[in-house]
Chains A and B, each alone.
Chain A
Amino acid sequence: MIRRLLALLILSAATAQAQNVFDIEAGYRFLDLKGNSGMYRTQINEQEGLLIRSFSLSSTTPVSDRFRITASDFGTSPAGALRIEADRRGLYRFTLGYRTADQYSIFPNQHFYNRTRRTLDADLELFPDERFAPFVGYSFNRFAGPGETTYHVGQDEFLLRQKEKDVEQEIRAGATFKLTHVYGSFTQGLRHSSESSQFSLVPGAGAGNGSDPILGQQISATTITRHDLTRVHTPFTNFYITGDVLKHLRLTGNYVRFAADSSGSESESVFGNFASFAISRFYTGSTESATSNAKNTTWRGGGHAEYEVAEGIDLIAGFQREHRELDGNALINTLYLQSITFGGVDQRDFQTVLNAKSSIDRDEDIVNAGIVGRTAGPFSFRAEVRQSKVDADVAPDLSEIVVPGSQGGSFERRVNTFDTNAQFSQSGFTLGAAFRSDHGNQPIFRTDFEDRDRYRLRAQWNAPKWVRLGAVAERTTMSNNADFHGHIAQYSGNIEYTPVELLSLRASASRFEADSSILFRHPETFATATSVHSENGNSREGGVTLNLKRLSLDAGLTSFHNAGTTPFKLTRYFSRAVIPIKGRYGIALEYNKDKYDENSAYDFDATRYGIYLRIQ
């Protein structure tokens, strides 16, 4: 794949015309990894091998007066991107974006996946900037690869191998239109997705996680297989219209609706020795089949008004209503093989049929009004009040109720918000302050705030030519009457010093704090206790950039030390040197070191070296 892509890009560059702007950087990266490779791949995942670091080509072709290809990090990088843009003025505009992302995780415990996501988005607009411009688009998203997961069956958990393949495709078409004082856009689309998962027992994992017998019987599995397949169809409609109604008044209306309809089929076979408290029996195996159907119908509509009361001062107001209906049903047929009661009698196959249903309705109204002052000399400001009102009805499925309560009902939550900020900016000096206060009448979830305040201060000074100083402080506090208290604070300061044009030095320091506490109830004792979470991190960054005629160098260091609930220390070094050789040719050398230390088996120390050929 990488070799073919590299050849294709070099071929496009070779055919490039003289006036074209073209550059490529490609080469090989080495990896020296010590420690936990799973954690390294979960956090970083840069691998050894061929890599196209970057590519760009700007050109013209017989059918386009602007043609641009850009690509980055294709090959052994966990995330690569390719973008193609082609335009012909007044006739068409085409964009194609292709992205690939390797996703690797060893969390939570016993779970693992190593999957790749590939996405493609292509959009073609005809007669752009004309009064009527139709467009079509297509998107593709594929997520596939192996993994492992745990699975609870027969009163124990077993480790299963999982093979997943999700494919989603979307087509959309519509048009933008412009009349003298009115413009807007209409989109109609259809999305189809197919999600397939196949599971099988990992060899040697038949004993399960639990070692204790259940009512004297050891639980074990000899075979577990499952296959899930779900298909979802989602037609959607999206529309907005904007009109300059009066000289200074602009109104915008919008409506969007989608109806997602899923149908699922699932089959499962397990063999071994199992127990079920639901049927109060032991059994030697089961076969299960399920069909399901679920719907999500959502629409949102609203309007916005912007009125310019004086030059640079606008009054804004808006209203949005969103309605969401979720409902589903599943028919689950389970046949327990050779089941006997816990007392050891009445051996027979035992069948259960479960017809489960669920529904959730959610409405949200958001109304806002505010004033924006953009040109009050060196000052600018913005103040807005907003109210969000959520009404939710949750119908609990009867089969779900183990401990009654809190699994359904009607909920209403109203949040009033006051949001304001102001800035002063003159002679390279900027000072900004923002404050937001939210007040909720009651929580829906226990950790929903009733009072939340956010503060933000920012100062920046761009001294002529040689220095830039910046500082940001942010703090959020929240609480509710369920004894929930939380605060998040972030502080950051940075300096960039450029004593001469060739040399730039930078340094920054950040501090991050997150604390929360809330009462909870121990399920095993019903006693209450306090759940406390804490993050307390300090980060330091520093770097230097040097641009000489025969050499450019960029190097830096980042360290983050967290002293909270999960203490760890993370240190990252990087350096990159670019050395011109002759004419358009040069070499880039890279060195990266990532060290993660939480004083456990998850620690790693990874060093990467890269050597790349550059053609510009």
Chain B
Amino acid sequence: MRATTIGGLLLLLIALGVPAFGEEPAPVPSCGDCHDEQAKAFLTNPHGHGTAVKGVIPNAVCERCHGDGKGHIEGGGDKTLIFKPAGLAGSNKTCLTCHDLSTDRVTRRGGPHSNSTTVNCLTCHSIHASKATHLLVKPQLALCDTCHATQVASFRSKPYAHRLGSGGMECSSCHEPHGRGGREMLRRTAADELPCLNCHTRQRGPFVFQHGSFAIGDCMTCHTPHGSSNRNRLIRANVAQLCIECHSPIGGKTLGSQPPSFHNLALARYQDCTTCHVAVHGSNRDPQLMK
């Protein structure tokens, strides 16, 4: 009975094509056998984590972007037998198969940074490994400096600037690199406000007496967000100068009232409007924004 059972099982194994005892299955080469650095990085990479089997990234994961690797492996690593995503074509054929996302603020097709020969996914992102966040090829400030040198220079060399590259604040804290263009290149809060208000919450209001420059305009009516030579990142060197340029109704119909005549600009006391008008962003108590 026992011999019959064992014999039957053996026959069944043979019929199913399972190798007989004593024969090892031919090992399937892993991409990581040769590309060990990439394979190691992929264990905790957003593209590869959770796919490892016994600590090894399966070839199928690599083949999602590189295509069928069988020929490449059998050809002893022949580079002509594997697809290496690069440039515009590489980005279009690999990255965009999963990341072709359009929202109200983001697009992979119509924005200034949409895939082109000049700038594409692989210009900014390093797919296998990166020490920077979001798999960027280098830290953001250095990366954006490649094309936007004048803006980055203003952060580095002007006395009053947001601390980029330190404390988690980066170009993309305020800018949406995949944005649609125009003002849509700015990020918004969850409630769709300007990114300035993510941190500067007190200026958000609402106030009973809102400064018109913010209610009708926005923060950039008075401030420059990048590096500035002026205190408080104002667009003018002197506070009185900034205020009086709008608060001088001369011809035409504009918003901004004329200060009463006791404001003698020749006196030091009246050269800094915010000495008295301290609630310059808005007030709940005083129409003249003095408290």
Contact = CB atoms under 8 A, between A and B. Distances in A.
A406 B249 contact: yes
A358 to B, nearest CB: 6
Given A59-B44, A370-B110, A524 B284 contact: no
Interface in A507-536: 508, 510, 512, 516, 518-524, 526, 528, 531, 533, 535
B199 interface: yes
Contacts of A191: 191
19 contacts: A67-B44, A78-B167, A110-B275, A254-B103, A300-B192, A318-B180, A328-B207, A328-B209, A332-B285, A357-B208, A374-B115, A382-B112, A384-B181, A406-B255, A443-B252, A510-B153, A520-B250, A564-B229, A570-B157
Contact of A295 (B206, B236, B258): B206
Contacts of B51: 89
Contacts of A105: 232
Interface of B: 40, 43-44, 46, 49-52, 55, 88, 101-104, 107, 109-110, 112, 114-118, 131, 133, 146-150, 153-154, 156-160, 163, 166-169, 180-182, 190-193, 199, 201-202, 204-210, 212-213, 215-217, 221, 229-232, 236-239, 241, 244-246, 248-266, 269, 272, 274-276, 278, 284-285, 287-288, 290-291
A157 B250 contact: no
Given A375-B117, A492-B150, A526 B261 contact: yes
A408 B107 CA distance: 39
A449 interface: no
Q: Looking at chain B's contact residues, is the secondary structure mostly helix, strand, loop, or mixed?
A: loop
Nearest to A430: B118
Interface string A405-429: 1111101000001010101111000
Nearest to B43: A19
A157 B182 contact: no
Contacts of A368: 182
Interface stretch (A29-37, A394-402, A583-591): A394-402
Contact of A166 (B201, B207, B260, B261): B201
A78 B49 CA distance: 34
A362 B216 contact: yes
A266 B284 contact: yes
A458 B148 CA distance: 9
A492 B40 CA distance: 40
B116 A474 contact: no
A537 B229 contact: yes
Q: Looking at chain A's contact residues, is the secondary structure mostly helix, strand, loop, or mixed?
A: strand
A87 B191 contact: no
A187 B217 CA distance: 27
A596 interface: yes
Contacts of A453: none
A89 B159 contact: no
A339 interface: no
Given A238-B191, A447-B246, A566-B237, 19 more contacts: A66-B49, A150-B275, A151-B278, A191-B191, A226-B291, A256-B191, A266-B284, A330-B284, A360-B216, A374-B116, A403-B257, A406-B255, A411-B253, A423-B118, A445-B255, A447-B245, A458-B147, A521-B258, A570-B157
A356 B283 CA distance: 12
Contact of A236 (B160, B191, B255): B191
A368 B107 CA distance: 15
A402 B260 CA distance: 7
A541 B153 contact: yes
Given A264-B284, A443-B254, A304 B265 contact: no
Interface string A554-581: 0000111010111010101000000000
Given A89-B51, A375-B117, A539 B149 contact: no
A189 B199 CA distance: 18
Nearest to A384: B181
Given A304-B102, A330-B208, A79 B285 contact: no
Contacts of B256: 406, 445-446
A177 to B, nearest CB: 13
Contact of A89 (B49, B55, B146, B263): B49
A210 B269 contact: yes
Interface stretch (A69-77, A215-223, A342-350): A69-77
A326 B287 contact: no
A531 B245 contact: yes
Count chain B CB atoms within 10 A of each CB in A242, A374, A562, A570 and give the residue with the most.
A374
B104 A19 contact: no
Given A378-B117, A432-B118, A446-B256, A141 B201 contact: yes
Interface in A71-122: 72-73, 77-81, 83, 87-90, 97, 99-101, 105, 107-111, 117, 119
Contacts of B244: 520-521, 523, 531
A170 B190 contact: yes
Contacts of B88: 374-375
B190 A172 contact: yes
A262 to B, nearest CB: 5
Contacts of B169: 79, 81, 99, 101
A503 interface: no
Nearest to A329: B208
Nearest to B244: A520
A198 interface: no
Nearest to A528: B250
A432 B113 CA distance: 13
Contact of B191 (A258, A432, A458): A258
A151 B157 contact: no
A537 B156 CA distance: 13
Nearest to B280: A108
B44 A326 contact: no
Contacts of A508: 149, 153
Contact of A406 (B49, B215, B217, B254): B254
B168 A83 contact: yes
Contacts of A365: none
A67 B49 CA distance: 10
B141 to A, nearest CB: 13
A236 B204 CA distance: 14
A419 B50 contact: no
A386 interface: yes
A339 B20 CA distance: 110
A341 interface: no
A479 interface: no
A68 interface: yes
Contact of A522 (B160, B215, B238, B265): B265
Contacts of B221: 445
A347 to B, nearest CB: 27
Nearest to B51: A89
B283 to A, nearest CB: 9
Contacts of B253: 406, 409, 411, 442
